[in-house]
Structure 1
C-alpha cells in the first residue's frame, strides 16, 4: 500500500519555513513515524493504539500524509466506539501505512529540492 504525499501541503510548508527547515521537519516527522511504527509493532493495547492514533492524526495532516491522517482518525474513532476487533483486524494495515510513510518522508527529506519532486 503506497500513500501519496499531498504536494500542496508540502509546498505551503516550504513557503512558510524555508527549504532547509522543511528538510529538517521532514526528517523529524519520519523519525516520529518510526517511533509510532515500533510502538504499533510491539503488541500495543487498544488504549495505546488510540493514543498513537490521536498523535498521528494531526501531525500526518500537517505534513500532507492525508491517507494516514484519515486512517488514524478512523482508528481513534473505532477505539472510542469500543470496536476493538476492528482495530485488531486493521492493525497490520495501519502499521504498514505508518512504516511506508516514514520511509517516504525520509526519502523526501534526503532530496536536494523535495518540493520539486512532488509535482
Structure 2
C-alpha cells in the first residue's frame, strides 16, 4: 500500500480542530521548518549529517503526523527507531530518502496551498 505524501483527511481534521483561518499560518511554519531542514542537510556530511538527521527525525514524527505528511512521518519514525537501536549510520539509505522526501513533501504542500 502506498502512503500519501499529503493526507487531505488529516488536513481537513486539523482545519476543523483549529479553524480553517489558522491552517495557513501553521502550514507556513511547517514549510519553514522543512526549508530549514533541507538547507541544513544540504550543507552537512558524514557524522554531522547523521546527528542532524536523528534530531530532525524525532521532531518530524509529531509535526509531520499533525499536518498529514504521512510518508514523511513514516520515514521519520523508521529513522528514529533505527537511531535509538544504534542501527543508523551516515551511509544509511534512509538519510538520503529523508532529504528527497523533505523536498517532495514541501513541494506538495506548496502546491496544495496555491
Q: Same fold (TM over 0.5)?
A: yes
State the 1:87 CA deviation.
5.6
Using the size of structure 1 for normalisation, the TM-score is: 0.80
The residue correspondences of 1:4-43 to structure 2 (distance < 5 A) are 4-43=5-44
Using the size of structure 2 for normalisation, the TM-score is: 0.83
Aligned to 1:46: 50
State the 1:108 CA deviation.
1.9
Q: Which moved more, 1:50-59 or 1:33-42?
A: 33-42
* Cα separation, partners in 2 of 1:27 and 1:106, compared to 1, 3 Å: farther
What runs of 5+ residues in structure 1 fail to find an aligned partner? 111-119
* Cα separation, partners in 2 of 1:48 and 1:108, compared to 1, 3 Å: same
State the 1:68 CA deviation.
0.6
Aligned to 1:69: 73
State the 1:74 CA deviation.
0.6
Instruction: Give the length in aligned residue pairs.
Output: 109
Q: Which moved more, 1:92-101 or 1:45-54?
A: 45-54
Instruction: Give the whole-Å Cα distance in 2 for the aligned partners of 1:100 and 1:23.
Output: 19
State the 1:57 CA deviation.
0.9
1:102 aligned counterpart, secondary structure: helix
Which of 1 and 2 has higher RCO (CA within 8 Å, sep 6+)?
1
* Cα separation, partners in 2 of 1:93 and 1:3, compared to 1, 3 Å: farther
What runs of 5+ residues in structure 2 fail to find an aligned partner? none
Q: Which moved more, 1:41-50 or 1:10-19?
A: 41-50
